[in-house]
Amino acid sequence: MPLKQYLLLMATGTIMCWVAWLFILFNISPEQAGWVGFIFFYASLFLGTVGIFSVTGLFLKKQSTNKDEIIFRQVKRTFKQGILFGIFIILSLILLQFNLLFWWNAILLALLYIVLEGAIVSGRKYNNRDYV
């Protein structure tokens, strides 16, 4: 798939997710919707966050890299980073919803995010065979 087509599909999907999230936010009552409403709320927010951070991250990496470097290597990495940041946002909001977001939880969540982000950026791959 060409990069232009990927960006177009990703941007279109991201816009659709944000429109769905705004629709849910303004038209669905949390008291009446129940758990299904919360699932749709968090799913559309997660997908919108993943899309916007993936596309923005890829655009920023494309601007900062050399023309000789292959940009397709960055697509997978920025998508993983977008997923990780989306999970971080959703977990924070779920903890906040249940009044469980305290400073120690936030610090642990942020440290977990930093460690996982570092593993993604470093690009190291570990096999269980290396430790035997």
pLDDT over 90 at 83, yes or no: yes
Per the structure, the complete domain to which residue 25 belongs is given by 3-131
Residues 68-77 pLDDT 10s:
567 777 888 8
Residues 2-35 pLDDT 10s:
888 989 999 999 999 999 999 999 999 888 888 9
Q: What is the Cα–Cα distance from 129 to 132, expressed in whole angstroms?
A: 5
User: Radius of gyration over alpha carbons of the chain, in Å?
Assistant: 18
Instruction: Compare 17 and 62 and report the one with higher pLDDT.
Output: 17
Which of 113, 80, 89 has its CA nearest to residue 21? Answer: 89
pLDDT over 60 at 44, yes or no: yes
Q: What is the Cα–Cα distance from 82 to 71, expressed in whole angstroms?
A: 16
Domains: count for the chain:
1
Residues 96-112 pLDDT 10s:
999 999 999 999 999 99
Percent of the chain with pLDDT over 70: 89
- Mean model confidence pLDDT for the chain: 87
Q: Letter for the amino acid at 41?
A: F
pLDDT over 80 at 128, yes or no: no
Q: What is the Cα–Cα distance from 101 to 109, expressed in whole angstroms?
A: 10
